[in-house]
A = this chain, B = another copy of it.
Amino acid sequence: MSPASARPVAVSEYDDAVTVRRGTEPGRHHGRFSDDWVIGNAVNGGLVMASALTALGHRLRHDTDEHTDHLDPVAISAYFLTAARPGPFTTASEVVRRGRTLSTGQVSVHQPGADGVVVERMRALASFGDLEGAELEREAAAPEMPPPERCLSAQDAPPSFLAQMRFLDRLDLRLDPATAGWAAGRPSGRGSIRGWLRMRDDSEPDPTMLVLALDALPPVAFDLGFQGWTPTLEFTGHVRRRPAPGWLQVALTSQNVGGGLMEEDATVWDATGRLVAQSRQLCGYRDRPSR
């Protein structure tokens, strides 16, 4: 059971981060990216997607008098155009098609740029459906990992690292020691990072949070010896089940690297070991430092 009684009555930090309010123009929502969710100078892409999905979900539910059961994000494909910054943002959502099993929409996230001109940060297509009771008859098994208390907390990283990764303060992230050698300068070269994840504020996972979880670990590029910023160009995630309360288990892999581009595949299982989401992203990387 989640310790609901121990949690503050106020909206959680995570809920607050993805909150949007309806604008006066049709299809517009407004929100604010806190500087608590940055990596370097940019807002974490997973939070940008979770906020955009929250806005699009509102739009799909409220721009019609018809009842819809399509409350769960099932697929999202996001193209990252410019880095989101802390501060206010506006989303523009459009209902593209209401189908029997899925409803599909589009959402863009805008912010004023440095010169005040509005810049598009991200544009996504996404489908919502009903994952109530969804079961898989065939699924990838959760990886073998030591329990969270025997894994490496991201909080134990050097303060200089954490100062650049304020986003990590929002998470309780425990990396499998077998895939954390890169943190001590010894990347395995396998292209694999695994860990346990939950929100620091004890918010329990929901389908929208799974999209954030798919993009929350350190880049798998680190385990291949790359350092620094690996900007996401395109991210597609599929949510397959509603997650159980508790820890999420996340595994990253990458196979194909070159020409300044690599794919990062992510899979998330819930606390009961059931696969709940998967994603692939195409991201850039910088060349390895010369040795």
Contact = CB atoms under 8 A, between A and B. Distances in A.
Interface of A: 74-75, 77, 79, 81-82, 96-97, 99, 101-102, 104, 106, 120, 123-125, 127, 131, 134-140, 191, 224, 233-234, 236, 238, 240-241, 255-261, 263, 275, 278, 280, 282, 284
A46 B117 CA distance: 38
A125 B261 CA distance: 18
B275 A138 contact: no
A138 B258 contact: yes
B259 A131 contact: yes
Contact of A138 (B96, B120, B224, B234): B224
Given A97-B81, A120-B97, A284-B101, A259 B233 contact: no
B96 A255 contact: no
A226 to B, nearest CB: 11
Contacts of A120: 96-97
B75 A234 contact: yes
Contacts of A82: 97
Contacts of A96: 79, 81, 120, 123
21 contacts: A75-B282, A77-B236, A79-B125, A96-B123, A101-B284, A104-B123, A106-B123, A125-B125, A135-B258, A137-B258, A138-B191, A138-B255, A138-B256, A234-B236, A234-B238, A238-B261, A238-B280, A240-B256, A240-B261, A256-B275, A256-B278
